[in-house]
Amino acid sequence: MRAFARIDDGDLARWAFRILLVGAVAIVVLDYRDLRTETVPATPADPAQEQPILPPDVATDGEGNRNTRPAPEHDPRRDVTTSEDALNGPIRFDLTKDNVLRATGRIDHAAAERLKKELRERGEYVHTVDLDSPGGDLGAAIAMADTIREHELDTRVPKGALCASSCPLVLAGGVHRSVDDKSAVGVHQFYTATDAEQNPAQAIADAQITTARIVRHLTAMGVDPMIWADALTTPPRSLHYLTADEMATYHLTTDGTKPAVTTSSPS
């Protein structure tokens, strides 16, 4: 009993997350192996470009996914008003008269560098970055978030916008973070295989590395990494659309008065 007494709540939470992570990685591998048996290529040249702009909610896609959350009463996709053409193009940045930098489109590998260029040229006028993106390159998304935090900017998903896949990682970079009720924010698995014949052991290693990178990023940005638990069990063909309560509970959104807390990355 004395041994158990020495384990605090933080240790229990960390061990619980590690157990969840191991199980989720195994699920990622099983999904990857399922993909290999389908008639379409398991690993497209650019996975982000192959995903639908507005994937169905994981609870309603009819594919028997392992995420068993009840189907939402309201389909969040109905709130998205941005055209698919605008969302599907490389992300672009437009400064509004209200000093908001609007970021619209897919996050390509060069997106972070373009954001840095925009902020070098016009950053003194910017206080908020509005996000409207179906996601894309994971590394670029994390780099964008780091840049936003370095400039101490706020982030927002405005009315009618979509922030999915890697986009919530950018949202996490804001000092203050908000999401309009009439918008959609969703997460799912990332898969990083580059070889159609990749063996399961390598798939596990890649999944662990990717998940650890996401967890470190979210923790450093002051977001509870448990928000990514549902992403780990949601295949790339679907999305787990986050509710307002989920985003607030896990600190993806802030209360508007207290800034996000930046922490050191966990070892």
How much is the pLDDT for 159? 98
Give whole-number Cα distances, 112 to 69, 89, 194, 233, in Å. 34, 15, 22, 28
User: Where residue 265 falls among pLDDT bands split at 50, 70, 90?
Assistant: very low
* 88-137 pLDDT per residue, tens: 999 999 999 999 999 999 999 999 999 999 999 999 999 999 999 999 99
Residue 197 pLDDT greater than 60, yes or no? no
Q: Answer left, alpha or beta for residue 94, where phi above 0 means left and psi between -120 and 50 means alpha.
A: beta
How much is the pLDDT for 52? 74
Say if domain 18-65+75-249 classifies as CATH 1.10.10.10.
Answer: no
- How many of the other CB atoms lie within 10 Å of CB of 175? 21
* 65-90 pLDDT per residue, tens: 445 566 667 788 999 999 999 999 99
Give whole-number Cα distances, 86 to 83, 104, 167, in Å. 5, 7, 15
Helix axes 200-220, 9-37, angle to 10 degrees: 140
How much is the pLDDT for 208? 84
How much is the pTM? 0.77
Q: Where are the domains of the chain?
A: 18-65+75-249
Q: Work out the average pLDDT over 22-40.
A: 47
How much is the pLDDT for 4? 40
- Residue whose structure tokens are 């008003």: 81
- Mean pLDDT over the full length of the chain: 80
